[in-house]
Amino acid sequence: MSLNIRKIGVVGAGQMGSGIAHVCAVAGYDVRLNDMAPERIKSALATINGNLARQVSKNIITENVRKAAVAHIQGAETFDDLADCDLVIESAVEKEDVKRKIFHDLCASLKPEAIIGSNTSSLSITRLAAATDRPEKFIGIHFMNPVPLMELVELIRGIATDDVTFEAAKALVVKLGKHIAVSEDFPAFIVNRILLPMINEAIYTLYEGVGTVEAIDTAMKLGAHHPMGPLELADFIGLDTCLSIMQVLHEGLADSKYRPCPLLVKYVEAGWLGRKTQRGFYDYRGDKPMPTR
C-alpha cells in the first residue's frame, strides 16, 4: 500500500521552511506554509516569489513554472488550516522542547493517515516521534541549506517508522529532484556529524591562535577546494545552530572530541550569530565582510 502525497504543510516559515515550500511548489505540490507569526508567513511568501523570479532569470525554471508554483503556495495561520495535508514537514528552531510541543499540538488537527516529517538537523527522530500519536508515520526529512540549490536530502527512520512512510518520503524526495542519503537515527545524522566537528575544529584553530579568520578560511578554500571557508560557513548556518548541533553531539555521544569550542559559546552569548545578526566571525555591516578577530 502506498500513500499518494498531494498536499504538503510546512511548519516554520524561516529560511529552511520557505525553501522547502519553494521546492515542493515547483514540483507541483499544493503547499500550506504555517508559522506562529503571521508577518513571518508574509515575508516568507515574498522571499519565495523573489527566489522564483531569480530562478526564471537564470533559466533554471520557466515563467509558467514560476506562475504555477506561486499559485500552489498559500499561508496557513493555524494548524487547523493543515487538516487536509497528506504530509506536514516541521522546520522550526532546533530546540527539542519547541518541536515536541509543535508535534503534540499538530496531531490534533491532522487526518489520521497524514505523515509527519521533521527537518531537524541533529535531534533523535525516535524521541521526536514519541511526542506524536503516530510514531510509525513519523520520519526525518532533512534538507540542506539553501534548499532550492542543495541537491541532498537525508532520510532518517525512527525505531517505529513503517515502510509505507519511508517509501512515501523517498518518492517525494525523488519528485523534488533531490538525491537521498539514508542515515541511521544517531545524533546529527551523516552530514552534520562530519561537517560540524570540522567547523568546531576551525573555531578551535582560531581560538588557539593557529591562524586568523582569513588564513583559516583561505586555507580550506584553496587547500581543500571547499566553496566556502569553515568560519564563513558557520556564519551562514548561524552560530547558535552550530552550537546546538555540537551540544547534541557532545551529549548524545559522550565523547570529548565533540566539546563545543569556548569561543563559539562566547560568540553565541554575545548575540553574534553570523549573517542573520550582521556579526559573527565576520562583520557584515560594511561594504564587504570584515573578520571580527
The catalytic site residues sit at: 121, 142, 154, 192
Describe the strand order of the beta sheet including 115-118 as a list of residue ranges.
Answer: 73-76, 30-34, 7-11, 87-90, 115-118, 138-143, 152-157, 179-183
Q: What gap in Å lies between CA 163 and CA 169, rounded to an integer?
A: 10
Nearest to 238 by CA among 145, 133, 127, 117: 145
Q: How many CB atoms lie within 10 A of CB 218?
A: 13
Alpha carbons 90 and 141: distance in angstroms, whole number: 9
Single out the residue of 180, 190, 173 nearest to residue 87, CA to CA.
173
